[in-house]
Amino acid sequence: MTRILAAEPAAIAEAATILKRGGLVSFPTETVYGLGARGLHKDEVAKIFAAKGRPPGHPVILHVDGEEMARGLAAEWPPVASELARRFWPGPLTIVVPRAAHVPPEVSGGLDTVGIRAPAHPVALALIRAVGEPLAAPSANIHTMVSPTKAGDVASAAWKEPVELVLDGGPCEIGIESTVVAVGSGPLRILRPGAVTLEQLRAVDPDAVDGTTVIEGDEARAAPGMASRHYAPSAHETRLLPYGDAAAFPDLAIEGGRKSRSGKYSVAAIVLSDAVRRAAEAQALQLRTMIVMPADPALYARGLYAALRDADKHASHLILVESPPDTPAWTAVLDRLRRATHR
């Protein structure tokens, strides 16, 4: 198991020392925990890919302490990028801009762009400043598995390359990854929904669009990071139940679950509406566990990955997740659930 230290000044200094000699360190951000290495050193970035088992075509985000450091990584930093940084940094927004020549192409999976973010977490910012350079950091999970929102999630993962230290900054406040927005010649384009919404981006560019797509199989390699299966628990199957569809619950629970040795169906339910909660309660004998999610989208997002991990611990056959309503407030959560349940 990887070592965890409370994120106090001495631990942050130690983490910076490890990074400066080329090691991997996990640190908290306001979205999820990141797995960090120095972003301008391609051999160190390669260790991140090796540790996660991440295919080389997937770009990683460079974490900076603010706009000035970001400008140094971009071949072009247009006025709209400044406006985004001014409004949303530090915070859960990754800005994709043309990549400066000295940023190793390995960082962005060979693309000529680079994703940059200033995280709104004092520990992340202190670490970036202590190292004095941008930190490459994808979410600190094994490739395709559920992202970590607690230090223990990182420490217990089966890393394929040593992660020397996890800085424990407590649970992540937002709980899902940043919004990724591409700044190019056309309008702003969301590549991954997150806490910064399309509506908020339209205050900067009224023509901003949602460019999120779920891409299948081989095409996923052509469009890095958009792979359809992601954020996935290891349970045999994870399925989405339509919002409020209490009538469909019993069949899905029974059909999807297989009798386990204990006599209970190996099914976990993650529910949201009162109707489906009641249906699940009526089916309690068939369930290993039932997790009731908050009705507020931000609180739901904060608890989502912990719920998926918890359900995964209890149920080895089926996780049944009630989908939230398909409204703008739920875009980011729905995106993660669709990817987690994609087969």
Q: Is 140 exposed, middle or buried (0-12, 13-18, 19+ CB in 10 A)?
A: buried
When asked if residue 266 is in the footprint of Mg ion (CB under 5 A), the reply is no
Q: Whole-angstrom Cα distance, residue 311 to residue 328?
A: 26
Q: What angle do CA 246, 292, 121 make, to 5 degrees?
A: 135
Q: Whole-angstrom Cα distance, residue 330 to residue 65?
A: 29
C-beta closer to ligand TXA: residue 272 or 301: 301
Q: 55-74 mask for ligand TXA (x: CB under 6 A)?
A: ---xxxx-------------
Q: 99-128 mask for ligand TXA (x: CB under 6 A)?
A: ---------x--x-xxx-x-x---------
Measured N-to-C along each axis, helices 331-341 and 297-314 cross at an angle, to the nearest 10 degrees, of: 20
Contacting range for ligand TXA; rule: CB under 6 A; set: 24-32, 149-157, 210-218, 266-274? 24-32
Q: Would you say the C-alpha torsion 75, 76, 77, 80 has a positive or negative sign?
A: negative
Whether 16 and 131 have beta carbons less than 8 Å apart is answered as: yes
When asked if residue 139 is in the footprint of Mg ion (CB under 5 A), the reply is yes
Q: 14: helix, coil or strand?
A: helix
CB of 231 to ligand TXA, least distance (A): 10
CB of 287 to ligand TXA, least distance (A): 31
When asked if residue 26 is in the footprint of Mg ion (CB under 5 A), the reply is no
C-beta closer to Mg ion: residue 2 or 139: 139
Tokens of 212: 């999120």
CB of 306 to ligand TXA, least distance (A): 16
- Residue 114's binding partner out of ligand TXA, Mg ion, none, with CB under 5 to 8 Å set by partner kind: ligand TXA
- Residue 65's binding partner out of ligand TXA, Mg ion, none, with CB under 5 to 8 Å set by partner kind: none
When asked if residue 51 is in the footprint of ligand TXA (CB under 6 A), the reply is no
When asked if residue 180 is in the footprint of ligand TXA (CB under 6 A), the reply is yes
The candidate with the shortest Cα–Cα distance to 155, out of 170, 141, 143, 139, is 141
Residues 221-240 touching ligand TXA, rule: CB under 6 A, are 224-225
Residues 141-160 touching Mg ion, rule: CB under 5 A, are none
When asked if residue 138 is in the footprint of ligand TXA (CB under 6 A), the reply is yes
- Residue 113's binding partner out of ligand TXA, Mg ion, none, with CB under 5 to 8 Å set by partner kind: ligand TXA
The residue whose two tokens read 């703008």 is: 328
Residue 339's φ and ψ, nearest 5 degrees, are -70, -35
CA separation, residue 171 to residues 119, 153, 178 (Å): 15, 10, 16
Contacting range for ligand TXA; rule: CB under 6 A; set: 82-90, 173-181, 208-216, 255-263? 173-181
CB of 3 to ligand TXA, least distance (A): 19
Q: 97-136 mask for Mg ion (x: CB under 5 A)?
A: ----------------------------------------
Would strands 267-271 and 289-292 be described as parallel, antiparallel, or unpaired? Answer: parallel
- Residue 96's binding partner out of ligand TXA, Mg ion, none, with CB under 5 to 8 Å set by partner kind: ligand TXA
C-beta closer to ligand TXA: residue 115 or 256: 115
| Count of CB atoms situated within 10 Å of the CB of 285 | 8
CA separation, residue 331 to residues 37, 135, 273 (Å): 31, 28, 17
CA separation, residue 301 to residues 6, 16, 75, 156, 324 (Å): 24, 30, 34, 22, 11
Task: Give the binding site for Mg ion (CB under 5 A).
Answer: 139
Task: Give the binding site for ligand TXA (CB under 6 A).
Answer: 29, 31-32, 34, 58-61, 94, 96, 108, 111, 113-115, 117, 119, 137-139, 177-178, 180, 191-192, 224-225
